[in-house]
């Protein structure tokens, strides 16, 4: 099985053919190995699920040892949106490869992302015409609410989690994202972690797992 993105793949612990898939997208300057820590935790509780942690397609401009889904340095809002649409196409192709390589439908795929990865999975997930199962977003935001509101195609289940003291992506950005989804008639779950900065909190890992299990089992 081949994928267009360099990917850490964690096969189902059951050794059976995957019933579900979780794609985890790392943050700006990170890589698939970073977020595979979360995948390994979830994997122990989802034995029939394959987990895929791709590296973003570009070397990070601010941290060349890591990767970026799209450039954020010295970019206007219009340029960031334009570059995010390129990243979205690449993630969509990757999702299609996961479907084809594992013989599963979009409804059996969950997307999770941290920071820039969260921004990308939110944008990609609700614009896809074939509805994915769910989205678990950590410490992210919506890149462009006007663009997204005009391009809603599906309504996956969504949970958003954020640190109250996040200085990278502020709590205001989280609240704006939450408000966007409610205004557009999404039923979403959300959690703010007190005294937490820009990271995935331990409780957030557990809540994400519970969310995935709940919606995979429906």
Closest CA to 119 of 97, 91, 138: 138
Is 7-216 in CATH node 3.40.50.720? no
Strand partners of residue 193: 163
3-state secondary structure 20-55: EEEEEECCCCECHHHHHHHHHHHHCCCCCEEEEEEC
pLDDT at 75 over 90: no
Confidence of residue 61 (pLDDT cuts 50, 70, 90): confident
What pLDDT, in 10s, does the model give residues 153-207?
A: 999 999 999 999 999 999 999 999 999 999 999 989 999 999 999 999 899 999 9
For the chain, the structural domain boundaries read 7-216
Bridging pattern class, strands 20-25 and 188-193: unpaired
What pLDDT, in 10s, does the model give residues 119-135?
A: 999 999 999 999 999 99
* pLDDT number for residue 39: 98
Q: What is the pTM of this model?
A: 0.97
């Amino acid at each position: 099985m081949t994928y267009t993105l360099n990917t850490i793949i964690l096969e189902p612990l059951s050794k059976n053919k995957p019933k579900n898939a979780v794609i985890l997208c790392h943050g700006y300057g990170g890589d698939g190995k970073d977020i595979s820590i979360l995948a390994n935790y979830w994997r122990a509780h989802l034995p029939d699920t394959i987990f895929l942690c791709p590296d973003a397609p570009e070397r990070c401009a601010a941290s060349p040892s890591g990767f970026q889904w799209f450039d954020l340095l010295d970019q206007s809002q219009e340029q960031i949106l334009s570059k995010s649409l390129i990243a979205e196409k690449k993630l969509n192709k990757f999702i299609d490869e996961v479907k084809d390589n594992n013989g599963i439908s979009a409804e059996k795929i969950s997307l999770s992302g941290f920071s820039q990865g969260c921004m990308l999975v939110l944008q990609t997930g609700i614009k896809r015409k074939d509805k994915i199962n769910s989205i678990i977003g950590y410490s992210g935001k919506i890149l462009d609410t006007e663009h997204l509101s005009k391009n809603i195609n599906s309504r996956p289940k969504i949970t958003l989690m954020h640190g109250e003291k996040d200085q990278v992506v502020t709590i205001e950005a989280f609240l704006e994202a939450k408000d966007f989804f409610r205004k557009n008639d999404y039923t979403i779950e959300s959690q703010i972690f007190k005294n937490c900065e820009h990271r995935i909190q331990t409780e957030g890992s557990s809540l994400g797992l519970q969310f995935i299990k709940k919606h995979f089992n429906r």
